[in-house]
Structure 1
Amino acid sequence: MKPNILNSLLLLFCLLTTCEAGPRINCYPEPNANQNLCETRGCIWNPVDDVDGTPWCYFKDGVGYNLASQNGTTFNLQKNNGPKNPWGIDFQNIQIRTSTIGGSVLNVKIGVDCRYEPPVDFPRSTIATSEILSFTTASSDDLFWFSVIRNSTNRKIFDTSLGGLIFSDQFIQLSTYLPSENMYGWGENAHQSLKHNFSRYLTWGMLARDQPPNSGNLDTMNLYGVHPFYMCLEPDGNAHGVFIFNSNPQEVTTAPGPSLIYRTIGGNLDIYFFPGPTPALVIQQYLAFIGKPFLPAYWALGYQLSRYGYSGLDEMKQRVGAVRDAGIPGSVPKSENWSGFEDYVNVMHGWNMKMIPIFDPAVEADYLPFQRAMAANAKFIEWEDYSQVQPNIQNLYPMAKNTKVMLGVVWPDHHVAFPDFLDSTGRTQAWWKTELELYHSQLSFDGIWIDMNEPANFGTNEQHPWYFDDADHPNDAPLFCPTNGTNRWDLPPYQTHAVYYYGGNENNVYLSSKTLCLAGVQNNGSYRFYDVKNLYGLKEAIPTQQALMECTGKRGAVVSRSTFPSAGRYAGHWLGDNTARWEDLRTSVIGAQEFNLFGIPYVGSDVCGFLGTSNEELCLRWQQMGAFHSFFRNHNTLGEPAQDPAVWPSVAAATKTANLFRYQYLPYLFSLHFQASQSGLTVVRPVFFEYPTDTETLDLGYQFMWGSNILVAPVLYQGAVTTNLYLPTDVWYSLFDYRYGSKIDSGYITVPSPTTSRIPVFVRGDAIPRQTPTTTTTMSRHNPFELLIAPCQLGKAVGVLYWDDGQSIVDSFDTHDFHQFDFNYISTSNGAQLTITRTRKGTIVLPTMDILEIFNYPSPPNFRSFFLNGQSVNINVQSSTYSGITKTLYISTKDLIDLTSSDSITLEWSNVSK
């Protein structure tokens, strides 16, 4: 068939079937769209089978701007003659400015001068790459668009020819085609798959909200933090990242095409493109820009016990004692403060255990800390003017009376105020640190857990909030925000998915639901809460980390519920108030991978589930999986039975097995965190990071990697006694009970996974540092080092160990006191050689390396042929073995290698002559 005939038939088909050129851009994202409302906006109403969520009301073509003039890399745009914005008056003139950072990161900024910019201090550095991204423009029919192109492949990675650019004071929209459907990121939401779904229209809200994740079904609600960042893997395996630096309420719609439509209701569109081209390099570039994650204290990688609702100190002692009696390695219990608790903390410190208390930001308005804050001229989130103050609340508190401090309700018995961590005078941050130091003088804690920092507020705008029916909480009058037509902050023209998902205003749902009034102000009125709400958790984490380090003299660890880009510099994160069900176990596997993309590798879930009643099998499988997350904590809610592993003998046994494996490999896990803090690498990472051209890995969300070398395939389904998994083409060895130490074929495999064994864990060719484990991280650190050698096909393996004292504050890695050892192993048919190079000299005293375990060793070694730097070594032949069946060589000799004896150490040996 000739091309012109084909085109004619296609045109006829489109005329008969209303064929569309591309995805629809929703013109009525609010609830309850109908034909009249749609067409009143000048949009197209075309009902279709909506199984894929296709909007029935959508914009006509031509929405956008045209090019008025260009001055170098500045493009001056003016509103075209196309459809107008339904949610405000279009800015008639906007600009696009482009620039590069370090020659590789492309910045495209769309907006207007003197608009709100998020007050976040990013390092704005980059990582060098040979990849270059170009900004190109085009226009037709009164419509301007731009593309971002990867020069090396001439591929468009961002293509706004889809149209739909809208820019007004409180509604901004940008649409683009994507180069593939392999997109990851955007948060914080509960994602049921690692890769986004472009077979249908899905809108994800991004507004920090006190909202437990619902993993029971597909749920696109916004959770505790905001992360407008994604990574896309292109068809050839190249990767790039995109970060939209905006802190206002926002949303993104993923749609067929593949395409996405991004909307925000304030600020500018400040977009950064990271070229990669590998997934790892994308994240390194992104974290160089927003800031690399903090290095947690070594003890913070230990197992943690927590409970909301211990009946008292005696019950806590009983549960902690039961776990210790079961021989389960653990490091950190958490609780509230009771009489005698300080003495018990001292006892736990004697056991080499640590303590992390929980702090909420809200301060009771008749509480001594509030009085000290007022005396110190600390600031709190305020009303804009006195006419907005609720006198029936304010007048109850002499210290707050005659102020504009906005008072709300959280856990304390009386009304609370919310510290203003954007206070440019620094007085609020200084007062906050003083309060934490005062508390530390009474209770010697080691880390800090900050919660409710979206910030959360109970019962906002509700006549009868839930706590009126709670016997444990007084009926404090709730906060009411101005909800008349003049309050454009709490009632903006477009309220985003963060409101519309929950039912719209007919159900008393506002942007201020569960939080403070967005009309509030901070820093003496220079910031509107509407703009900066999403930054609250980040801004609280900064002085909290500083306070922790100042009052303990050590680095410790902070864990925050609400996060924003760069929060990983100061705190870790847990995935929120999940539910004790299998679906939440599965989404926690994905959530940990996503937060590593967001630059927060110290992350994990509430093991066994926070809400609801857990059960033996679920808790067992969650304990097994959670042992591979950096932040590893068992935690559940008030009123539910205890669920620590000692409750069930089977769970206690499985947890002991899982924790001993974790503690054995803590040197490797710690080294991964060291690399993340130093270089911006991930710790828990998707499998496709290591195999970006293997299409089978692109949505392998229920498996994950520990660094580059260990693959974990947790058991995630009820009743499962086997696991179906995928091993990319490589050299893999089993690290669990099934054929331990043996080579395992690549591809799709099924392996046994009884509750009495480790979950499936595999290692690919490398040298992995580890340590003989015991019941606490402190005690484990004194045990001998070990080295697992799993050679690649050529009989080679390399690895690295980073080691410091586990607690000193890291001001700069250039001056920090640590060791770095590089391992290089090679074997031949005649023998083998292990070279250890100390590439960084520290002063920390180290245990010796006493054990080498080598997989796929070809033939029996001559145990009398070992030489260390030319000197003969007596190998303990009673504890050292070789198996000709499994091809595993196990060398165990006390004080075998003193790692600090020389900057270059060579251990070599020969095999038994045939």
Structure 2
Amino acid sequence: MAAFYLAVLLIALTPCGAVDDNVRFDCYPEDGATEQLCLDRGCAWEETQNPKAPKCFYWDPYGYRVEGNVQDTVLGSRATLRRLNTPARYANSADVDPVTLDYEMHTAKRLRLKFYDSNTQRFEVRDKMPHIPEATGKAPSPEYTVNITPPSPTTPFSLSVTRTATGTVLWDTSVGGFTFSDQFLQISTKLPSTYVYGFGEHERNNYRHNMDWRTWGMFTRDEAPGPPSDGVNKNLYGMHPFYLCVEDDGKAHGVLLLNSNAMEVVLQPTPAMTFRTIGGVLDFYMFLGDGPEDVVRQYTEFVGRPFMPPYWGLGFQLCKWGYGNLSVVRDVVKEMQDYGIPHDVQYGDIDYMERQMDFTIDPVNYQGLPEFVDQIRRDGMRYVIILDPAITTNETEPYAPYTNGTALDVWIKDGDDNSQPLIGKVWPYYPDVTVDPTQEWDYKVEHYNAYSVFPDYFHADIDQWWGNFIKDFYKTLKFDGLWIDMNEPTNFVHGSVKSCSNNKYDNPPYMPKILGPNIYSKTLCMNSVHGGTEHYNTHSLYGWSQAEPTQRALREVTGKRGIVFGRSTFPSAGHFEGHWLGDNTAKWDHLHKSIIGMLDFGLFGMPYVGADICGFWDDSTPELCHRWMQLGAFYPFSRNHNWEQGAPQHPTHWDGAIADAARDALQTRYTLLPYLYTLFYQAHTQGSTVVRSLMHEFIEDKLTWSIDKQFLWGAALLISPVLDQGAMDVNAYFPKGRWYNYYSVNSDHQGREVADAGQGRSLSLPCDMDCIPVHIRGGHVIPTQGHANTTVFSRRNTLGLIVALDEAGEASGSLFWDDGEDIDTIGSNSYRMITFRVSAMTLDITVESNGYTPDPELQYETIQVFGSPAMPSDVTVNGQNVASDNIVRKTADKVWHLEGLSLSMGENHKITWTIPDDTSGAEVSRARPLALVIAAIAVVLATVNGHFLS
């Protein structure tokens, strides 16, 4: 065995004798590594010219070995791993021996690799997530094979996972360093490519990860997006230990580490990654896909499909922390109406409350709020309120949320005295204090912010407390959605008002690369009791645990779907809620980073996502807000929001300077809402993405694997926003196919095909301040509807279809339609599903399911055809010839419209057309390619082999 390692070492040596950086896996990730400390750990030390590569790395056999034969189980196989005779990692974190490995074949494309202590019960996330499906037997024909090193007294354990069909090795842990101790667990693996995406929540410059020795910590933290702090890439509000890897042939796989303890992942150019976590078990789930979209479908099937938002939840939403009083809110709503800007949802941030206390209304500044909400709801709008988890304890008069919660004993407990709740400080102010807003933050926290307790949302009586107060408050204020914030959970003092004691949870032997300086910074002591265990284990589950009871209470009290969206999230949160990308800043690079955030949360199964339009922190400018409103019109969750002391930035501000642009962009959004709503139906039922990377649709084009300044709505709409200050053009990439302008500054160009885009290329598109490039992909039918100022009224308008033909003259699409807000229209079959198919110059509109009838019945009024070789003749609608006056040629560039229709949405329809015979061959070939190819073959055969045809 020594000879084997010597051979490996020689192979890895560079000509100068140094060990190649790419085979180095860090054995001393803490600060302060020295050669002696490294050698004491049983590792190798060698200098390197790369300051990012480790000097201390694993080399000799380290970790565990396989003992005894691998055993068959109902779901797969089981191996026993025993410690090798190597130094313990930490003297105060006992190594587990033995470790059990279960390899489970759940489905043909999903496997599980679980490393655990079979002798001691350790915390497992899965126990808190009962909706995750249990496997019942071994998959009969898996598309993967798992190899485990054979038993040996000296050979280190490793495993590999191989895609059977291609031979691609997806995982290979033979690089060493496997560790399983009480508070330090680590495993490293080589990867099949450098195309890695996911992990969160973080701010990044690119969607595709940089593999150049980057470390990403994961632990939910009240931290705004921004550049690295003290050398740490910031861990933000959510925790998503899930990544996607695209293999060199375009196949893809995803991996979830189902663990909620503080962790980090290290990416290195080998390519490889290392997982390190400080508790729980190593519970990996791998999903093999034909491509990225297939992986997301499998992942959401496992963690839970995304919730179906109400139709109005796709409308434009407006909020500001610190309107100041109800009069200002009234004026903003009226201005939006006066300018004719679509506006579906108005918000109440924490200033609507009395001293920021949940389930209260400021009796002075927001007197009359319930009546105002009733009025805007009659006008077709909706109202959403914020709720924070922390509850004040310092009231001089009885405060029911606190007294009732205390009676039910629902608070997180102090780890040093389990009979008492942990006490911190968050938003609520002391009663009878005068707040000086000019004071520094620390002064405010000390002198103004009241003591607070924190609900345990895992508590058996949480519905009786949290749910009942939501229902009681609804009797006062008829909200339509709930925004749950500060639920990392946030604490304005570190740990508690008395700090944290010296215990192993608040002072772990290893601190992952998360924002500190302590693990309890800006949150609760880790030894507090939460969810029946230490907060150390369940901290990153806090926001997730709040989402489900919040959704349940909202639906019960309103009888409708409503929307719940939260700041702190964890895998499966998308089943219950949406997410906004947190407290971003009014600066130009945050436009681009918002696209990366949307793509990330699409991978995480949370398609209802968006950033604060125009920025939360700092003051926006007219140009920045102008461009951001254009981009934000294409966020699935589209909301303009900023902070208390920020200048107003709603679309009618700046004397209406950006009002026209905001109105135009939002009217485009509202016109396309039937298509967007259908995408959410597909996400809810099939697990597909809504906003998606270009590579999801064009995996054969490797250039798309690194594009993140453009994005798709579904498969059919390409959005290429302006992201740079002063820019009047966009460099947009068009993958192979036919692409059409959705609209342009010159309306005569609507539907015009993008020249020179057919084979896949980048084009510079002129784009002044009135422009955001949107293109439709050939081969798709997009349902549209007339826009209005709210979805209540737009849903009553006539429908249209955009038919964008592909190279074969074909296209398809679908439309999902229900009442827009009932809780389970899909389960009760109370919806319409309509498909659209174009082939051989025939459009078939087919009602596949007809369980819902709108009142009044909707009509198709307009059909637009893009990419036609010429103006049609002999157009028929349901067998009847159409008068020529109904055919409107909008341009000379292969676009025609059929207008003035009145076709019931609830019936099947057939539209046919013919192209005149004198159309040029090139044009006809696109309209009738199959017939022309057959005819051409026949002519050739007749000429060359006449005897054969005869």
Do the structures match in fold with TM over 0.5?
Answer: yes
1:841 aligns with 2:850: yes
Letter in 2 for 1:695: K
CA distance in 1, matches of 2:285, 2:228: 34
Q: In 2, are the aligned partners of 1:376 and 1:431 still within 8 Å (CA)?
A: no
Change (3 A) 1:539 1:816: farther
Residue 31 of structure 1: aligned partner: 31
1:457 aligns with 2:491: yes
Which residue, 711, 722, 731 being the options, matches 2:718?
A: 711
1:349 aligns with 2:365: no
Residue 529 of structure 1: aligned partner: 535
Letter in 2 for 1:454: E
Change (3 A) 1:303 1:11: closer
- Which is further off, 846-855 or 14-23? 14-23
Residue 754 of structure 1: aligned partner: 768
Residue 48 of structure 1: aligned partner: 48
Q: Using the TM superposition, give the Cα deviation of residue 804 of structure 1 relative to its aligned residue in structure 2, in angstroms.
A: 0.6
Letter in 2 for 1:93: P
Q: How does 1:510-525 map to 2 (within 5 A)?
A: 510-523=518-531
Measured against aligned partners, the alpha-carbon deviations of 1:26-62 in whole angstroms (never above 9, x if no partner) come to 23323344445444544444343345x2123333432
CA distance in 2, matches of 1:867, 1:711: 31
- Which is further off, 185-194 or 207-216? 207-216
Letter in 2 for 1:488: K
Q: In 1, are the aligned partners of 2:13 and 2:20 still within 8 Å (CA)?
A: no
Residue 85 of structure 1: aligned partner: 89
Q: Using the TM superposition, give the Cα deviation of residue 149 of structure 1 relative to its aligned residue in structure 2, in angstroms.
A: 0.6
CA distance in 1, matches of 2:392, 2:10: 69
CA distance in 2, matches of 1:794, 1:93: 62
Change (3 A) 1:130 1:866: farther
Change (3 A) 1:821 1:50: same
Change (3 A) 1:126 1:885: farther
Residue 206 of structure 1: aligned partner: 218
Residue 200 of structure 2: aligned partner: 187
| Unmatched segments (≥5 aa) in structure 2 | 1-6, 353-360, 430-449, 919-950
Q: In 2, are the aligned partners of 1:215 and 1:583 still within 8 Å (CA)?
A: no
Q: In 1, are the aligned partners of 2:220 and 2:238 still within 8 Å (CA)?
A: yes
Q: In 2, are the aligned partners of 1:215 and 1:584 still within 8 Å (CA)?
A: no
Residue 657 of structure 1: aligned partner: 664
Measured against aligned partners, the alpha-carbon deviations of 1:289-329 in whole angstroms (never above 9, x if no partner) come to 10000000000000011001112111222222222222211
Residue 383 of structure 1: aligned partner: 414
CA distance in 2, matches of 1:705, 1:735: 13
CA distance in 2, matches of 1:722, 1:702: 13
Q: In 2, are the aligned partners of 1:23 and 1:259 still within 8 Å (CA)?
A: no
Secondary structure in 2 matching 1:175: strand
Q: Using the TM superposition, give the Cα deviation of residue 844 of structure 1 relative to its aligned residue in structure 2, in angstroms.
A: 2.6
CA distance in 2, matches of 1:323, 1:310: 15
Change (3 A) 1:241 1:322: same
Which residue, 87, 111, 114 being the options, matches 1:109?
A: 114
CA distance in 1, matches of 2:906, 2:616: 45
Which residue, 498, 508, 517 being the options, matches 1:480?
A: 498
CA distance in 2, matches of 1:105, 1:907: 44
TM-score normalised by structure 1 residue count = 0.89
CA distance in 1, matches of 2:881, 2:473: 54
Change (3 A) 1:822 1:12: closer
Q: How does 1:148-159 map to 2 (within 5 A)?
A: 148-159=161-172
Letter in 2 for 1:103: A
Q: Using the TM superposition, give the Cα deviation of residue 724 of structure 1 relative to its aligned residue in structure 2, in angstroms.
A: 0.7
Q: Using the TM superposition, give the Cα deviation of residue 71 of structure 1 relative to its aligned residue in structure 2, in angstroms.
A: 1.5
Letter in 2 for 1:715: V
Change (3 A) 1:378 1:849: farther
- Which is further off, 59-68 or 142-151? 59-68
Secondary structure in 2 matching 1:792: coil
Secondary structure in 2 matching 1:334: strand
CA distance in 2, matches of 1:214, 1:668: 34
Measured against aligned partners, the alpha-carbon deviations of 1:136-155 in whole angstroms (never above 9, x if no partner) come to 12368521100011000011
| Unmatched segments (≥5 aa) in structure 1 | 1-6, 389-402, 462-477, 503-508
Q: Using the TM superposition, give the Cα deviation of residue 883 of structure 1 relative to its aligned residue in structure 2, in angstroms.
A: 4.3
CA distance in 2, matches of 1:548, 1:369: 20
Residue 143 of structure 2: aligned partner: 132
Q: In 1, are the aligned partners of 2:401 and 2:469 still within 8 Å (CA)?
A: no
Letter in 1 for 2:492: F
Q: In 1, are the aligned partners of 2:112 and 2:284 still within 8 Å (CA)?
A: yes
Q: Using the TM superposition, give the Cα deviation of residue 342 of structure 1 relative to its aligned residue in structure 2, in angstroms.
A: 1.4
1:905 aligns with 2:919: no
Q: Using the TM superposition, give the Cα deviation of residue 12 of structure 1 relative to its aligned residue in structure 2, in angstroms.
A: 11
Q: CA RMSD in A?
A: 2.4
Which residue, 859, 862, 872 being the options, matches 2:870?
A: 859
Q: In 1, are the aligned partners of 2:105 and 2:142 still within 8 Å (CA)?
A: no
Q: How does 1:188-337 map to 2 (within 5 A)?
A: 188-198=201-211, 200-215=212-227, 220-335=233-348, 336=352, 337=361
Q: Using the TM superposition, give the Cα deviation of residue 635 of structure 1 relative to its aligned residue in structure 2, in angstroms.
A: 0.4
CA distance in 1, matches of 2:402, 2:827: 42
1:428 aligns with 2:440: no
Q: In 2, are the aligned partners of 1:125 and 1:288 still within 8 Å (CA)?
A: no
CA distance in 2, matches of 1:353, 1:417: 35
Q: How does 1:722-741 map to 2 (within 5 A)?
A: 722-737=729-744, 739-741=749-751
- Which is further off, 328-337 or 631-640? 328-337
CA distance in 1, matches of 2:12, 2:37: 31
Q: In 2, are the aligned partners of 1:202 and 1:253 still within 8 Å (CA)?
A: yes
CA distance in 2, matches of 1:779, 1:260: 51
Secondary structure in 1 matching 2:424: coil
Secondary structure in 2 matching 1:211: coil
Secondary structure in 2 matching 1:645: coil
Q: In 1, are the aligned partners of 2:59 and 2:176 still within 8 Å (CA)?
A: no
Q: Using the TM superposition, give the Cα deviation of residue 378 of structure 1 relative to its aligned residue in structure 2, in angstroms.
A: 4.4
Q: Using the TM superposition, give the Cα deviation of residue 878 of structure 1 relative to its aligned residue in structure 2, in angstroms.
A: 5.0
Q: How does 1:524-673 map to 2 (within 5 A)?
A: 526-648=532-654, 649-673=656-680
Letter in 1 for 2:218: M
Measured against aligned partners, the alpha-carbon deviations of 1:538-572 in whole angstroms (never above 9, x if no partner) come to 11000100111011110011010000011001000
Secondary structure in 2 matching 1:550: helix
TM-score normalised by structure 2 residue count = 0.86
Residue 62 of structure 1: aligned partner: 61
Residue 786 of structure 2: aligned partner: 772
CA distance in 1, matches of 2:42, 2:66: 24
Q: Using the TM superposition, give the Cα deviation of residue 117 of structure 1 relative to its aligned residue in structure 2, in angstroms.
A: 0.9
Residue 819 of structure 2: aligned partner: 805
CA distance in 2, matches of 1:109, 1:633: 41
> How many residues are aligned here?
849
Letter in 1 for 2:777: V
Secondary structure in 1 matching 2:112: strand
Secondary structure in 1 matching 2:867: coil
1:785 aligns with 2:816: no
Letter in 2 for 1:98: Y
CA distance in 2, matches of 1:687, 1:776: 31
Change (3 A) 1:608 1:61: farther
CA distance in 1, matches of 2:738, 2:596: 25
Q: Using the TM superposition, give the Cα deviation of residue 820 of structure 1 relative to its aligned residue in structure 2, in angstroms.
A: 0.4
Q: Using the TM superposition, give the Cα deviation of residue 843 of structure 1 relative to its aligned residue in structure 2, in angstroms.
A: 2.1
Letter in 2 for 1:497: K
CA distance in 1, matches of 2:411, 2:13: 63
Measured against aligned partners, the alpha-carbon deviations of 1:328-375 in whole angstroms (never above 9, x if no partner) come to 111111122411111211221122111010000111124623345246
Change (3 A) 1:236 1:207: same
Q: Using the TM superposition, give the Cα deviation of residue 9 of structure 1 relative to its aligned residue in structure 2, in angstroms.
A: 14
Measured against aligned partners, the alpha-carbon deviations of 1:692-728 in whole angstroms (never above 9, x if no partner) come to 1211011101111100111111111111111112111
Measured against aligned partners, the alpha-carbon deviations of 1:206-251 in whole angstroms (never above 9, x if no partner) come to 0000000105899611110110111110000001111111111111
Letter in 2 for 1:456: T
CA distance in 2, matches of 1:909, 1:764: 19
Q: In 1, are the aligned partners of 2:416 and 2:528 still within 8 Å (CA)?
A: no
